[in-house]
Amino acid sequence: MARFEPLTPETAAGASRELLGDLVERHGTVGDMVATMAHSPSVLGGYLGLSKAMRRAKLDRTTSELISIAVQEQQGCGLCLASHIEAARLLGVADYEIELAQLGTATRPEVAAIITLGLQIYREPASISDEQVDELRRYGYSDRAIADVVGVVSLNILTGAFNLVAGLTPVQEG
């Protein structure tokens, strides 16, 4: 059960009112997470900024979604996990690849290596080695793509932690 009520442009105050009003004007509606983030204009603004920045990431969207699935499986945010699984399916990712990402791996070694990096960034960034980064480069990942994994993981930590604190869960169909 949600711990915070979602806000609207009418019920939000200050900077959150402006941010939500702009989003609703441009998109017509916002999801529960964004509406609930409006309790903190700092969190909402940070989320919107990082989310926008990550749309310009060099890392391809499919790989980003697989990393997100691996991270959310660890973090335990069912809402985020469901969202990233749906996004991966829309990109044409096979169910077995989604299941492997949930286990922290992939069939292709280069994808498994970048998922491993994402999970290490999430769990233990000090454990990342020069050899590991060199291996990613040999697989063809640019320094920018490797750095973008930090952004993907950071965005997932923010959204997952927020949803867990706020008590936001996937809508049960039935």
CA distances from 52 to 29, 46, 47, 77, 152 (A): 17, 10, 8, 21, 12
Rounded Cα gap, residues 75 and 164, in angstroms: 9
d(CA 89, CA 155): 20
Return the pLDDT at 157.
Answer: 98
Please state the domain extents for the chain: 14-54, 61-166
CA distances from 143 to 8, 124, 132, 157 (A): 40, 20, 12, 22
Query: How much is the pLDDT for 174?
Result: 52
Q: Where does 61-166 sit in CATH, by number?
A: 1.20.1290.10
3-state secondary structure the chain: CCCCCCCCCCCCCHHHHHHHHHHHHHHCCCCHHHHHHCCCHHHHHHHHHHHHHHCCCCCCHHHHHHHHHHHHHHHCCHHHHHHHHHHHHHCCCCHHHHHHHHCCCCCCHHHHHHHHHHHHHHHCHHHCCHHHHHHHHHCCCCHHHHHHHHHHHHHHHHHHHHHHHHCCCCCCCC
What confidence score (pLDDT) does residue 2 get?
A: 87
Residue numbers of the chain with a pLDDT score lower than 50:
none
